Structure 1
Amino acid sequence: MTQVSIIHNPRCSKSRQTLALLEEKGCDIQIIEYLKTPLTQLEIRGILDKLAITPRQLMRTKEDEYKSQGLADIEDDELLLQAMVDTPKLIERPIVLANNRAAIGRPPENVLSIL
């Protein structure tokens, strides 16, 4: 049985679909509701490394918080990373971690490649 962690928002349909897919595959799932238990800067860095993307690529750029904080004009990755720590809603979801790899579940089938 594959052990996986899912960075999850139960209010998000893609996140719920991804969780259902993992359950269907018989995975041993650790659910991390990141809005209730925010990720640390170190945890986000680890996810970025596994995904091989920049902080901005992990951000939900259409969120009101992204616009109200003026993040589109910020080039400093450290400031973007801190914005995700301070405002977890900015983090793209769902993210699945398994086998020392990560995948964003958009679409949910994306996560199958790391199981």
Structure 2
Amino acid sequence: REGLCEIENLNQPFEIRKYFDEPFSESELKEVIQKLKIKPIDLVRTKESIWTEKYKGKELNDEEIIKAMLENPKLIERPIVINGNRAVIARPKEKINEIL
């Protein structure tokens, strides 16, 4: 919620997507990863119990990691802020400034 307040204070139009309610498609998630300029594993919340119980210690390729995130949206790091072709994981919230 704190990061959201930061965005609201920018006085720029924005849209919130709750991807638990409206999950990413595979192509959307790949696009977000591309905009973030990271590897899929860098978007995973590796301390989540789902990850530690099902995936930790396994040798997964990028496609398998993306599939895990699609099947378990809770694994996706958040909040993600996208501005055009650029994106950041807004932790800490000041990271938002990198794409404005």
Q: Distance in 2 between matches of 1:105 and 1:95?
A: 6
The CA distance in 1 between the partners of 2:33 and 2:59, in whole Å, is 18
Pairs within 5 Å for 1:25-104: 25-104=10-89
Q: Percent identity?
A: 38
How many residues align? The count is 100
TM-score (norm 1): 0.82
Gaps of 5+ in 2: none
In 2, the alpha carbon distance for the partners of 1:71 and 1:24 equals 38
Q: Which has the larger share of strand?
A: 1
Runs of at least 5 residues in structure 1 that lack an aligned partner in the other structure:
1-15
User: Aligned partner of 1:53: which letter?
Assistant: I
Report the equivalent of 1:5: none
For residues 32 and 72 of structure 1, do their structure 2 counterparts lie closer, same or farther at Cα, with a shift above 3 Å needed? farther
TM-score by length of 2: 0.94
Q: Could you list the structure 1 runs, at least 4 aligned residues long, displaced by more than 3 angstroms after superposition.
A: none
Q: State the Cα RMSD in Å.
A: 1.1
Q: Secondary structure at the match of 1:73?
A: coil
